Amino acid sequence: MTAQTEDVLTTAAGWMAEGERVALATVTETWGSSPRPPGSQLAVTASGRMAGSVSGGCIEGAVAEAARETMDSGIPQLLDFGVTDERAWEVGLACGGKLKVFVEKLS
């Protein structure tokens, strides 16, 4: 486990202790150009706080939106961003990378 991962989990645990609803996004797979390696994490609260990083740029906004959906539904999601995806340009993967991110509600 990296220091960045430990910091994200520690921060997420602190937010939960404060009564926040929290979701955790984890990079599960990358291919080609990707700013963050597998295992990178992003914690998101229902109130909009974020810690960590799964990619940067617009992808993090899309992941945060999915995290809020997961907090509401309780249903985990596997997000797939890549050059073959119509949203690749929109979310910032125009340079040829692919990225899978697993999003789960923490409890």
pLDDT for position 47: 96
Residue 46 contacts residue 68 (beta carbons within 8 Å): yes
Which amino acid is present at 23? A
Poorest-pLDDT segment among 25-34, 70-79, 98-107? 25-34
Q: Number of C-alpha atoms within 13 angstroms, CB side, residue 42?
A: 27
Give this prediction's pTM. 0.84
The pLDDT of 73-97, averaged and rounded, is 70
Would the pLDDT of 88 be above 70?
Answer: no
Summarised one tens digit per residue, pLDDT across range 17-74 is 999 999 999 999 988 777 788 999 999 999 999 999 998 777 889 999 999 999 999 9
Query: Total structural domains in the chain?
Result: 1
Domain with 29 in it: 3-105
